[in-house]
Amino acid sequence: MSAIASSAGLSAGAAQTNRIAELDSQEFLGIILAELRTQDPLAPNDTSALVQQLSSVRSIESDLKLTERLEALVSDNRLASAASMVGRRVEALDRMGQSIVGTVAAVRTNAGSPVLLFEDGSSVDLSRVTAVGQYVGPNP
């Protein structure tokens, strides 16, 4: 990997490992193929380190994708929880920390966070809800 490291301007040690961790799978695969093309066939390089690094890159990518999916799932779950409060009396804390009570008329999102809209026109973030009462709308 020394030919590739020197051509990419990488230093040995931790800096090289950190730089490799920043690559995506396609870029890393390109480096491996370039290394294989330029190595001396009579004295091949040890590719086990390359394979291990590729495995680490794939693991990191997998972890990032899983994190994104979990964040989307949590966001969807919070929105569904907020929607289930439509027609219910809710107690919450306003921005000043004062208790407010109202019937939820609708739900919207603000920067990905569910906001409950009360019938009187006021609103409160879902995270500030302290109690949820009975359904007070028309009978279904």
**pTM for the model:** 0.55
CATH number (2.30.30, 1.10.3470, 1.10.20, 1.25.40) of 84-135 reads: 2.30.30
Contacts of residues 127-134 at CB distance under 8 Å and 24 or more positions apart, as own/partner, are 128/92, 128/93, 128/94, 129/85, 129/90, 129/91, 129/92, 130/91, 130/92, 130/93, 130/99, 131/90, 131/91, 132/85, 132/88, 132/89, 132/90, 132/91, 133/88, 133/89, 133/90, 133/91, 134/88, 134/89
User: Confidence class of residue 66 from pLDDT cuts 50, 70 and 90?
Assistant: very high
pLDDT in tens, 15-57: 444 565 666 777 877 877 887 788 777 776 667 776 787 788 7
Domain residue ranges of the chain, discontinuous segments joined by +: 2-76, 84-135
